[in-house]
């Protein structure tokens, strides 16, 4: 991944999504050679010279001030995730990585105890590459297809989704699900451009999956803190769960995701069925009773 090309393609893709009408600019004439704003229009809206903005869009963003980045973000109507991504790209271009030290080594026992304490809802801990590092029994039961013998290792949501034949079936809302996964990896690539494991994963997915390659080229990013997610589980069928994703401040780069369903709903009944199935299948790892396989960070 080239930082300059990422900056160029990200800014150009955001510019193409904004029409003059959306930007509050008059649209003169009926023939425009670009689908969105022209570079000079972005420069006008951001209050910078056209030559300076052209340099930015060519990837020469190192040294740009916060005021300029904010102005460009406003001109392009970037959302919170896109603004954060622009700042990450600027840091990478200036070779100023975030000072946050990413977690290494095994997960602390205290974190695992928090995970295991959630006995009535699926929960797991992942890193920015979407490796599932640990899961409670219900979390492993929910993601059971990722733990089968023929599933890719290490246990990784994106690798299973795009490279395993069961990926499309397990994630039934395919377009939304794939766009979410790719957007999360694109966001992480901005945060950690020198993570060799991440670049290796992205290279593998780009090479082997046309769906991933097409979505990756869109340069979409997103924050993923709460929402609803559907699954087609091989044992219990359709289930849609609410999720809340919480970053672990003491373990930078790691996120705990917990699923739930409102009592009295069909999805809550399906969650109870999942718990019964998990108990009979004894999905917990024999080496770590009460928890799923725990990978190294």
Output the tens digit of pLDDT for each of the chain's 297 residues: 578 899 999 999 999 999 999 999 886 655 677 779 999 999 999 999 999 999 999 999 988 999 999 999 999 999 999 999 999 999 988 875 554 445 566 888 989 998 999 889 999 999 999 999 999 999 999 999 999 999 999 999 999 999 999 999 999 999 999 999 999 999 999 999 889 999 999 999 999 999 999 999 999 999 989 999 999 999 999 999 999 999 998 888 899 999 999 999 999 999 999 999 999 886 444 334 344 456 655
Look up residue 253 and give its two tokens: 């780069």
Contacts of 61 (CB under 8 A, 6+ apart): 7, 69, 89, 90, 93
Alpha helix stretches (DSSP H) within the chain: 3-16, 20-23, 39-46, 50-57, 66-75, 80-93, 109-116, 137-142, 157-163, 167-170, 174-191, 196-208, 210-216, 266-281
Q: Is 121 helix (H, G, I), strand (E, B) or coil?
A: coil
Q: What pLDDT sits at residue 100? A: 46
Q: What pLDDT sits at residue 103? A: 54
CB atoms within 10 A of CB 272: 13
Q: What pLDDT sits at residue 291? A: 46
Q: What is the pTM of this model?
A: 0.88
pLDDT tens column, 136-168: 999 999 999 999 999 999 999 999 999 999 999
Q: What pLDDT sits at residue 30? A: 59
What distance in Å separates the CA atoms of residue 253 and residue 32, rounded to the nearest whole number? 43
Domains of the chain are 3-93 (1.10.260.40), 109-281 (3.30.450.180)
Q: What pLDDT sits at residue 294? A: 61
What distance in Å separates the CA atoms of residue 264 and residue 281, rounded to the nearest whole number? 25
Q: What pLDDT sits at residue 286? A: 39
């Amino acid at each position: 991944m080239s930082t300059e090309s990422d900056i160029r393609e990200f800014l150009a893709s955001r510019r193409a999504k904004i029409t003059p009408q959306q930007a509050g600019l008059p649209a003169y004439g009926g023939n425009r050679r670009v689908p969105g704003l022209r570079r000079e229009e972005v420069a006008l809206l951001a209050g910078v010279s056209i030559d300076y903005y052209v340099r930015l869009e060519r990837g020469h963003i190192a040294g740009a001030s916060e005021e300029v980045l904010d102005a460009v973000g406003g001109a392009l109507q970037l959302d919170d995730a896109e603004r954060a991504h622009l700042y990450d790209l600027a840091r990478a271009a200036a070779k100023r990585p975030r000072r946050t030290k990413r977690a290494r080594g095994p997960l602390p026992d205290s974190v695992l105890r928090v995970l295991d304490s959630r006995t009535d809802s699926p929960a797991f801990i992942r890193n920015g590459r979407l490796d599932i590092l640990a899961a409670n029994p219900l979390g492993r039961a929910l993601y059971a297809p990722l733990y089968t013998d023929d599933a890719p290792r290490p246990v990784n949501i994106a690798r299973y989704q795009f490279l395993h034949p069961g990926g499309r079936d397990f994630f039934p809302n395919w377009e939304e699900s794939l766009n979410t996964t790719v957007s999360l990896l694109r966001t992480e690539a901005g945060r950690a451009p020198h993570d060799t494991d991440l670049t290796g994963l992205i290279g593998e997915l780009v090479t082997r999956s046309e769906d991933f390659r097409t979505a990756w080229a869109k340069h979409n990013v997103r924050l993923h803190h709460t929402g609803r997610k559907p699954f087609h589980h091989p044992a219990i069928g359709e289930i849609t769960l609410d999720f809340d994703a919480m970053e672990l401040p003491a373990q930078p780069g790691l996120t705990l995701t917990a699923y739930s369903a409102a009592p009295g709903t069909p999805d809550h009944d399906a969650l109870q069925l999942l718990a019964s199935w998990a108990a009979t299948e004894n999905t917990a790892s024999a080496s770590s009773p009460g928890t799923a396989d725990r990978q190294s960070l």
